[in-house]
Amino acid sequence: MKEKYLSLAIIVLALVIGMGLIGSGTSNIDLPIAAKSTDVELAIPWHDMGAQLAEHGVIDEAKFRSLYPNRQDAVDLVFDSNADKPLIINQSNADIMLNALWAFGLANKNPILEEGPMMDPRYGGADRFASTGGWTLGREGAMSYYSQFSLVVLTDNQQGLVERVSKNVYRPCCSNSTYFPDCNHGMAMLGLLEILAADGAGEDALYEAATRINEFWFGKVVGGSC
């Protein structure tokens, strides 16, 4: 696994993402809530996560909404507190959910963020990555929220599952695994895996969901940009 991180490149990438947050534009998996997912959509148990992220300040709702002036109905789904139905991700709202899942992955307390490669001293601190330095949609800086809130709590088995799958799910923009969520897509993917694992998804389900969301974000052709 290649992990090439020149400090200047990291800083530049963080600035690029910070100034240009994404704004506009299969077989079933063994999740009860995602049983109706198809090759053109993915259902996830989002519950009131958007509302919680806004309450904690991880997402400043006004800033978030300002990215999508003509798509407020889709943004409403991010902050809807209706826990009785899944949130459907498809190609039309995948960019919005990229930012929502990025916020979740950044803020949800997890050993991957606290003990994994993000904390490797050779990189100079977790605040130096695009997934942290590039997050500008909160009320405060990203590190004020980094692994701070138990939005979902995983069992030991679920944590082991997330770690195992995250080490094998890569993103084409930088060829790093989700276990090293140094960019926005990596942090968002980590958040997705945590949410699904907490809801009872098995290993095949996590890989299926990861494949689907990567197709939304990058297309079926290998390649793409963070």
Geometric angle at alpha carbon 52, from 114 and 59, rounded to 5°: 75
Q: Among 1, 24, 21, which Cα is nearest to 13's?
A: 21
Q: Which DSSP category does 138 fall into?
A: S
Confidence of residue 84 (pLDDT cuts 50, 70, 90): confident
| Number of other residues whose CB lies within 10 A of the CB of residue 89 | 25
The pLDDT assigned to 40 comes to: 82
Average pLDDT over residues 117-124: 97
The pLDDT assigned to 21 comes to: 56
**Is the residue at 11 inside a domain?**
no
Domain of residue 193: give its range: 28-218
Domain count along the chain: 1
**Is the residue at 1 inside a domain?**
no
Write the Ramachandran bin of 223: left for phi over 0, alpha for psi from -120 to 50, otherwise beta: left
Tokens, residue 72: 């407020």
CA 55 to chain centre: 18
**Is the residue at 4 inside a domain?**
no
Strands 87-90 and 41-44: antiparallel
Confidence of residue 219 (pLDDT cuts 50, 70, 90): confident
Identify each DSSP E strand in the chain by its residue range: 41-44, 87-90
**Is the residue at 10 inside a domain?**
no
For residue 66, the number of C-alpha atoms closer than 13 Å in the C-beta half-sphere is 10
**Is the residue at 74 inside a domain?**
yes
Q: How far is CA 116 from CA 70, 101, 113, 123, 137, in A?
A: 39, 19, 6, 12, 24
What tens digit of pLDDT does each residue of 179-189 get? 999 999 999 99
Q: What are residue 41's DSSP bridge partners?
A: 38, 90
What tens digit of pLDDT does each residue of 162-178 get? 999 999 999 887 889 99
What tens digit of pLDDT does each residue of 56-68 get? 999 999 999 999 9
Average of per-residue pLDDT values in the chain: 85
Confidence of residue 20 (pLDDT cuts 50, 70, 90): very low
**Is the residue at 5 inside a domain?**
no
| Number of other residues whose CB lies within 10 A of the CB of residue 220 | 7
**Is the residue at 8 inside a domain?**
no
**Is the residue at 135 inside a domain?**
yes
Residue 30 pLDDT more than 90?
no
